[in-house]
Amino acid sequence: MERDRWSHIRGVFFDLYGTLLIYGDMDAADRAWCEAQHAALQDYGLKVSVDEFREQAHGMFDAPAPAVVERGFTLAEQRLFAFYEELGLSVPVDTMRELDEVAQRDWQRYISLDPDAKDVLGALRQVKSVALISNYDHPPHVRQLLSDLDLNPLFDCTVISGEVGVKKPDPRIFGPALDATGLEAAEVVYVGDAIVDIDGARAAGIAPIRIGREPGAWAHPRDADLVIESLRELLPLLG
């Protein structure tokens, strides 16, 4: 039976974006972020159009991390501050943070919590250790979001890449969650939606489960040990 295959599992670790949170129209989300930034930066001498601004901002957060992150900055803040400087803008640090918070809220409006997430997390946590492991360069946003969504009580441990200095697929990001739960990698599954989730979990010795919410989604030769289409499919296997 499929349930017997997972009978040794004592912990279920989750990705956040694309897994517990469902992406909506991300093109519109990116546009909302750019429009909020563009409007606010007019006061600081920004001259380019919103379309030009969006083109210049494209890929900023996927670019290689700077060699040194200034003390007191998150990685996302460092990238944004450097971007402002490239545009020839002099924006005070406190103002930069305020602008980014507004823009991130506009971006977040296009992302929603999976309606099954709380029920599934709650049921699993009654019988397993549950942890969150997220790639995100601005941890305060994730911490506030988890609080706003009342998700914190559902996790034994939360690991954010911007706090620990490594991100998936680097297997080291799983270490703090394993340490916090007292589990071995072989006793854990990791549920994620992206190839970095699958590859990172495998490299850490953790069995990867991929969520693809459309039938046939994410077929790939390096695919997960199991592919599910909804979070509720975890309960008969692991609950």
Question: Do residue 133 and residue 196 come from a single domain?
Answer: yes
Domain count, the chain: 2
Residue of 195, 159, 201 whose CA lies nearest to 176 = 159
What predicted TM-score, i.e. pTM, was given to this entire model?
A: 0.91
Grouping H, G, I as helix, E, B as strand and the rest as coil, residue 206 is coil
Specify the CATH number for the domain of residue 117. 3.40.50.1000
Rounded Cα–Cα distance for residues 189 and 56 (Å): 39
Give me the pLDDT at residue 44, please.
94
Beta bridge partners of 208: 190
Question: Do residue 186 and residue 73 come from a single domain?
Answer: no
Residue 169, φ and ψ in degrees, nearest 5: -90, 15
Give me the pLDDT at residue 66, please.
66
Give me the pLDDT at residue 223, please.
73
The answer to whether residue 75 scores a pLDDT higher than 90 is: no
Rounded Cα–Cα distance for residues 91 and 83 (Å): 11
The answer to whether residue 48 scores a pLDDT higher than 60 is: yes
Look at residues 64, 91, 108 and tell me which one is the last residue of a structural domain. 108
Give me the pLDDT at residue 221, please.
46
Which tokens in the block code for residue 101? 């918070």
Residue of 34, 50, 70, 6 whose CA lies nearest to 209 = 6
Tens digit of each residue's pLDDT (9 = 90 or more) over 85-142 = 889 999 998 999 998 888 889 999 999 999 999 999 999 999 999 999 999 999 999 9
Question: Do residue 86 and residue 194 come from a single domain?
Answer: no
159 lies in which domain range? 2-23+112-238
Q: Distance from first CA to last CA of the chain, Å, rounded?
A: 15
